[in-house]
Structure 1
Amino acid sequence: MAEEGEGRGTLAEGAARQLANATKTRAQWGGITPRWLIPFMPWTPVEAGIYRLNKVKETRGATSAKSLDVECSPPRDRDADLPETFVDYDENPREYFLNAVTTVLDVQTRVSDLYSHPFDQIQEQLRLLIEKVKERQESELINNKEYGLIANTAPSMRISTRSGAPTPDDLDELIAKVWKEPSFFLAHPRAIAAFGRECTRRGVPPPTVTLFGSPFLTWRGLPLVPSDKVPLTNNGKSKILLLRTGEKKQGVVGLFQPGVPGEVSPSLSVRFMGIDRRAIASYLISLYCSLAVHTEDALGVLDDVEVGKYHDYPAAK
């Protein structure tokens, strides 16, 4: 009982918290992006990790219909021999091999045994590492020196901006390069913002379309798909890509192999590697993928896109 003149005693908040259960969240990682390139790209399954891209042999004008000796119906008053011709194939077609993006998760079994409530420690670690592997996958599809989009753009399909900042005229020139049923643009978010500013300045703000439940800016009906994996230099320069996709359109396709051991999603596997003498449990995470450009005119790049100098903004991953 408090003596006269003393205030009533109350339970301090700090002490009360010791008996309270805090509501916990999963570990949040700010590096997760939408990875829009993956759903926008059609994916082709391959066997034995090999994709052979057969092409017509390119001789003089072989890709032009005018170069083939084809004749309309001969006049009725004479019997004419029909022209004999054939389409030759490249005897050494390019073969694409699936690339592996891998990492190994090591977990001390004591940690997973004792500290897996309310969240399973192993599952949380796997979830986050799978996100990292998928982020790397998108980066490889764009930047890989062997099969990436940028490395596989033909010199004849590259153009530069007219004034530095991306303008409607620049994107129209890119469409003129990839004019056979183009599918979508791919650009760094800062490049898309720079293009939007140029459009607004000219009084032609780009319309918006909703795809996969999210809004996208468009130009000439083609969505501008953002990806922070498109290169962005420290001096504020980037690229804008335009793709035609799909095998039927002789476009760009992603490659994967279904049914890999330990598969948890297409071409992504998680395999338990065992527990060593130090009580460390190891898990192998592997994602197999590649990309093929069927014809050169399926992919164009706008180079030297100026988006502004932001030295504190991170470069592409």
Structure 2
Amino acid sequence: MSEESKPASLGIDAAYQLSDVTKTTAQYQSLTPRWLTRVLEWKGLETGIFRRNRVVEDQSPLEVLCSQIRKETVIPQTFIDYEEKPREYVLNSISAIINIDTRISDIYSVPHNQIREQLRLAIESIRERQEGQLINNDDYGLLRNVPDSQRIQSRTGFPTPDDFDELISRVWKEPSFFLAHPRAIAAFGRECTRRGVPPATVDLFGSHFLTWRGIPIFPTNKLLVDGVREPKGKAGKTDILLVRTGEANQGVIGLYQKNLPDEQSRGLSVKFRGIDDKGIASYLLSIYCSVAILSDDAVAVLEDVDIGNYYDYN
């Protein structure tokens, strides 16, 4: 049937004007699961300052006791000494201001409330920055505070089972989890498969994770590859962490300010700053956080790991 002989009908463009469209909320590709903030043990602070007291361990108490024993009837005397200048952690502030035109929020808030969506996305962004700071902050970040005795280099450049075992030997007192960039986890999986020891998996938080020696390996893109979160090429260098968490285990703990005014979630406040004479509503979002390594053997790092495929180089 020719175009001229088709019966007249409503066109698609015109019909579209009467149709309803199902809309998603704004999809934010940069958001991640942020496993580190989920699996860390967190301690709430009253004043924003945390003091880490430690024992002076130049000589063990047992050695002192034995050195003082002369006769069986002598009662040994000793004491446990403390550091005189313990480290103190002051919570770090991560803040953002969100401005919203009230005219826009009044008119264009169906089906999705504009104020709620703007705050949701801003909170997610701040939480992403928080995880990045827990790992990379120049003052308190995990990578910056791993003792030299807990830093190791890969035997081959690629992350191998031997390297992971070496990490476990440094954090052998109840290690909690490995932390690695997704590309590093893929490289480790390839090395395990090449050696005939594919890693087992475990279900946690409704997701599947590779494990090594029963310890889960959590992915994060905050452990950068050549200084970036999302490397473009096949190769690159990164680090892999092994962490023991928990205050009772003398491990790594996250710190936050509790009982904040206008608290929205753990350590995060959302304060309404008012509406100016141009109708712009303003909100201040602030999160207060830090992370403390309670004992040196609570964390170890495998440095300068190559994420490239082994077969690309051999």
Determine the C-alpha separation between the residues in 1 that align with 2:23 and 2:122. Answer: 20
The match for 2:265 is: 265
Q: Does 1:56 align with 2:55?
A: yes
Once the two structures are superposed, residues 55-76 of structure 1 have per-residue CA deviations (whole angstroms, 9 ceiling, x without a partner) of 1124x3x3x45433158999xx
Q: Does 1:44 align with 2:40?
A: no
In the alignment of these two chains, the number of paired residues is 299
* 1:73-88 paired onto structure 2 within 5 Å: 80-88=73-81
> Helix, strand or coil for the counterpart of 1:270?
strand
> Helix, strand or coil for the counterpart of 2:189?
helix
Determine the C-alpha separation between the residues in 1 that align with 2:134 and 2:72. Answer: 56
- 1:257 Cα deviation from its structure 2 partner: 1.6
Q: 2:224–2:238: 8 Å Cα contact kept in structure 1?
A: yes
- 1:285 Cα deviation from its structure 2 partner: 0.6
- 1:118 Cα deviation from its structure 2 partner: 1.1
Determine the C-alpha separation between the residues in 2 that align with 1:117 and 1:68. Answer: 73
Aligned partner letter, 1:113: D
Runs of 5+ in structure 2 lacking a partner?
310-314
Q: Does 1:293 align with 2:289?
A: no
* 1:1-317 paired onto structure 2 within 5 Å: 6-58=5-57, 60=58, 62=59, 64=60, 66-70=62-66, 80-233=73-226, 236-308=236-308
Aligned partner letter, 1:49: G
The match for 1:312 is: none
Determine the C-alpha separation between the residues in 2 that align with 1:12 and 1:67. Answer: 92
Aligned partner letter, 1:43: W
Greater CA drift, 231-240 or 116-125: 231-240
> Helix, strand or coil for the counterpart of 2:99?
strand
TM-score (norm 2): 0.91
> Helix, strand or coil for the counterpart of 1:112?
helix
Once the two structures are superposed, residues 203-262 of structure 1 have per-residue CA deviations (whole angstroms, 9 ceiling, x without a partner) of 000000001111110001100110000021165000110011101110000011221011
Once the two structures are superposed, residues 174-213 of structure 1 have per-residue CA deviations (whole angstroms, 9 ceiling, x without a partner) of 1111111111100000000000000000000000000111
> How large is the RMSD of aligned CA atoms in angstroms?
1.8
Aligned partner letter, 1:117: V
Determine the C-alpha separation between the residues in 1 that align with 2:63 and 2:21. Answer: 75
Q: 1:260–1:268: 8 Å Cα contact kept in structure 2?
A: yes
Determine the C-alpha separation between the residues in 2 that align with 1:133 and 1:204. Answer: 39
Determine the C-alpha separation between the residues in 1 that align with 2:171 and 2:187. Answer: 22
Q: 2:68–2:77: 8 Å Cα contact kept in structure 1?
A: no
Aligned partner letter, 1:200: T
Determine the C-alpha separation between the residues in 1 that align with 2:80 and 2:147. Answer: 23
Identity %: 55
- 1:6 Cα deviation from its structure 2 partner: 4.2
Determine the C-alpha separation between the residues in 2 that align with 1:279 and 1:93. Answer: 50
- 1:82 Cα deviation from its structure 2 partner: 1.2
Determine the C-alpha separation between the residues in 2 that align with 1:103 and 1:70. Answer: 58
- 1:8 Cα deviation from its structure 2 partner: 1.4
Q: 1:71–1:82: 8 Å Cα contact kept in structure 2?
A: no
Greater CA drift, 5-14 or 127-136: 5-14
From the two aligned structures, give the one with the greater helix fraction.
Answer: 2
Determine the C-alpha separation between the residues in 1 that align with 2:291 and 2:5. Answer: 78
> Helix, strand or coil for the counterpart of 2:37?
helix
Greater CA drift, 199-208 or 45-54: 45-54
Determine the C-alpha separation between the residues in 2 that align with 1:283 and 1:70. Answer: 63
